[in-house]
Chains A and B, each alone.
Chain A
Amino acid sequence: MEPYRTEENTMAKYLLLKHYRGAPAPVNDVPMDRWTPEEVSAHVRYMQEFAARLESTGEFVDGQALSPEGTFVRYDGEGRPPVTDGPFAETKDLIAGWMVIDVESHGRALELAAELSAAPGAGGRPIHEWLEVRPFLTELPTITE
């Protein structure tokens, strides 16, 4: 669904989310340590070139990878140390990393996500990994009526 915009021709930021767990299974679903070393290298190169290309088109904002090890934390009341829990092996959603892009349209965001999803995996074939595309909520526009 195209998010609502008052101004059509403006850049919009999107978060492309990659999951360790929680996304539907990819088409080419082989864990990375079962690829060949050359396939691992090809994958890494594809990701680097993808980010470099987005920089050159002026659409790249940020990209980071996350460790799979995380902790849940919550406030436990005044003067008490934070309560921590996890990591939970059964957590449904585990984010592996993200890329933030700034693009002309929602369609362009989907197109780029699909390109990223085509990164080569086992056998040198595209992984067809499911990526999540989430629009950023914007600043309040100057003209609202």
Chain B
Amino acid sequence: MDERLLRALAPTVIGVLVRRGADFASAEDAVQDALVEAVRVWPGDPPRDPKGWLVTVAWRKFLDAARADASRRHREVRAEAEPAPGPGEAADDTLRLYFLCAHPSLTPASAVALTLRAVGGLTTRQIAQAYLVPETTMAQRISRAKRTVSGVRFDRPGDVATVLRVLYLVFNEGYSGDVDLAGEAIRLTRRLAAGIDHEEVAGLLALMLLHHARRPARTGPDGRLVPLAEQDRGLWDTRLITEGVDVLQAALARDRLGEFQAQAAVAALHADARTAGETDWVQIVEWYDELVRLTGSPVARLNRAVAVGEADGPRAGLAALARLDPALPRHAAVAAYLHERDGDPVTAARLYAEAARSAPNLPERDHLMRQAARLNVLLRG
């Protein structure tokens, strides 16, 4: 069974049901039920027309649910005739779903869950596994999210920026459980980019492709983190890099810079260097300057300090760092790195150990602890 096809059809089928008069929440439930049934039935009895099958089954599920609901309220429901969807509307339906599922009234976690289910066609169980929460918890999060957007008109476009933030969050979650969330985020962003002509959509797609290209090199065989400078660049996926650079160049040519394009430009400069030593840090600093100007983000400033340290030497990097709040996540790790480069292994070792204690995840903690250990071995001589 082609699960990718099945999932790609999910938003289209929701759109068909909504245009037949179903409300979004019921349509989405019905399609989810139809997807679960397809996973069960298709392997033994594949349909000739997968989309038609899904529409028929989902519509029947919707009517069953509506009737059950109506009989609970002692009212009759009038089963409508099945109007055929007009041509060319499916793509628009999918776009509208992106906006609805990323509606600003939703919390980021709810928007992510709803997007993965309604647009991504994932089951609640898969989403729950990916985010390491019980399935009932995820089911509740999704149904609350649907209640939140129940009053939102389906036919108005929203803000692209909110959709991009949701897709970015999904991508950053990476890989956990059976679902490759990074791959899923790329699929959803590709589809969005195909339906909407927007430079930041392209920027985000480029950013994802360029980072995804490095994934095979980012962890060692034992799961340990391999920092950019030490990665085996032969493992980078050149096909993804080429595509990412092409997408980025087309976006930049429109001369409407945004934060995702700027981040992608940094990633492209790393991808462009055959060795870590050939990295064009001067240009990277310039892109971080743009990013700081666009977002004012403290994280961008911290990354800029690292780039300044490479471009102009560790003293300059430390000076840039001194202007930032030491409570920033990864501040100690950056300080440790710059102090080591500045020839002060004692301070660096202390800061690496401190950074390990405040690391937000295990691979980073283990990596920072190894850095502290490495310097302490040297210091013991």
Interface size class of B (residues with CB under 8 A): 20 to 34
Residues of A within 8 A of B357 (CB): 68-69
Q: Is the CB of B370 within 8 A of A34?
A: no
- Near A by CB (< 8 A), chain B positions 343-381 give 349, 352-353, 356-358, 360, 362, 365-366, 369-374, 376-377
Please measure, in the bound complex, the distance between the C-alpha atom of A48 and the C-alpha atom of B237, giving whole angstroms. Answer: 28
Cβ distance A11 to chain B, nearest Cβ, rounded Å = 20
Judge if A10 is at the interface, Cβ distance under 8 Å: no
Residues of A within 8 A of B223 (CB): 48
Q: Is the CB of B358 within 8 A of A44?
A: no
Q: Is the CB of A37 within 8 A of B358?
A: no
State whether A40 and B358 are in contact (beta carbons under 8 Å apart), knowing that A33-B353, A48-B223 are contacts in the complex: no
Judge if A67 is at the interface, Cβ distance under 8 Å: yes
Please measure, in the bound complex, the distance between the C-alpha atom of A36 and the C-alpha atom of B379, giving whole angstroms. Answer: 12
Please measure, in the bound complex, the distance between the C-alpha atom of A40 and the C-alpha atom of B358, giving whole angstroms. Answer: 17
Please measure, in the bound complex, the distance between the C-alpha atom of A15 and the C-alpha atom of B226, giving whole angstroms. Answer: 33
Judge if A21 is at the interface, Cβ distance under 8 Å: no
Contact with A40, one of B349, B360, B366 (Cβ below 8 angstroms)? B366
Cβ distance A84 to chain B, nearest Cβ, rounded Å = 16
State whether A33 and B369 are in contact (beta carbons under 8 Å apart), knowing that A41-B224, A44-B224 are contacts in the complex: yes
State whether A40 and B362 are in contact (beta carbons under 8 Å apart), knowing that A33-B349, A33-B353, A45-B222 are contacts in the complex: no
Interface majority SS (helix, strand, loop, mixed), chain A? helix
From A35, A48, A69, name the one whose CB has the most chain B CB atoms within 10 angstroms: A35
- Near B by CB (< 8 A), chain A positions 36-69 give 36-37, 39-41, 44-45, 48, 65, 67-69
0/1 per residue, B30-69, Cβ < 8 Å to A? Answer: 0000000000000000000000000000000000000000
Interface majority SS (helix, strand, loop, mixed), chain B? helix
Cβ distance A86 to chain B, nearest Cβ, rounded Å = 15
Please measure, in the bound complex, the distance between the C-alpha atom of A35 and the C-alpha atom of B352, giving whole angstroms. Answer: 14
Contact with B376, one of A33, A41, A45, A65 (Cβ below 8 angstroms)? A33
Q: Is the CB of B377 within 8 A of A41?
A: no
Residues of A within 8 A of B370 (CB): 37, 40-41
Cβ distance B353 to chain A, nearest Cβ, rounded Å = 4
Residues of A within 8 A of B353 (CB): 31, 33
Please measure, in the bound complex, the distance between the C-alpha atom of A69 and the C-alpha atom of B223, giving whole angstroms. Answer: 25
State whether A37 and B222 are in contact (beta carbons under 8 Å apart), knowing that A32-B369, A68-B357 are contacts in the complex: no
Q: Is the CB of B224 within 8 A of A39?
A: no
Contact with B352, one of A33, A36, A67 (Cβ below 8 angstroms)? A33
0/1 per residue, A83-97, Cβ < 8 Å to B? Answer: 000000000000000
Please measure, in the bound complex, the distance between the C-alpha atom of A45 and the C-alpha atom of B365, giving whole angstroms. Answer: 14
Residues of B within 8 A of A67 (CB): 358, 360
Residues of B within 8 A of A48 (CB): 222-223
Please measure, in the bound complex, the distance between the C-alpha atom of A41 and the C-alpha atom of B373, giving whole angstroms. Answer: 11
Cβ distance B183 to chain A, nearest Cβ, rounded Å = 24
State whether A33 and B372 are in contact (beta carbons under 8 Å apart), knowing that A41-B224, A44-B222, A44-B224 are contacts in the complex: yes
0/1 per residue, A65-76, Cβ < 8 Å to B? Answer: 101110000000
Q: Is the CB of A65 within 8 A of B373?
A: no
State whether A44 and B366 are in contact (beta carbons under 8 Å apart), knowing that A33-B372, A35-B373 are contacts in the complex: yes
Write the chain A residue with the least CB distance to B380: A34
Measured CB to CB, the residues of A under 8 A from B are 31-37, 39-41, 44-45, 48, 65, 67-69
Measured CB to CB, the residues of B under 8 A from A are 222-224, 349, 352-353, 356-358, 360, 362, 365-366, 369-374, 376-377
Supply 21 A–B pairs (Cβ within 8 Å), ascending by A.
Answer: A32-B369, A33-B349, A33-B352, A33-B356, A33-B369, A33-B376, A34-B373, A35-B373, A37-B370, A37-B374, A40-B366, A40-B373, A41-B370, A44-B222, A44-B224, A45-B222, A48-B222, A65-B362, A65-B365, A67-B358, A69-B358
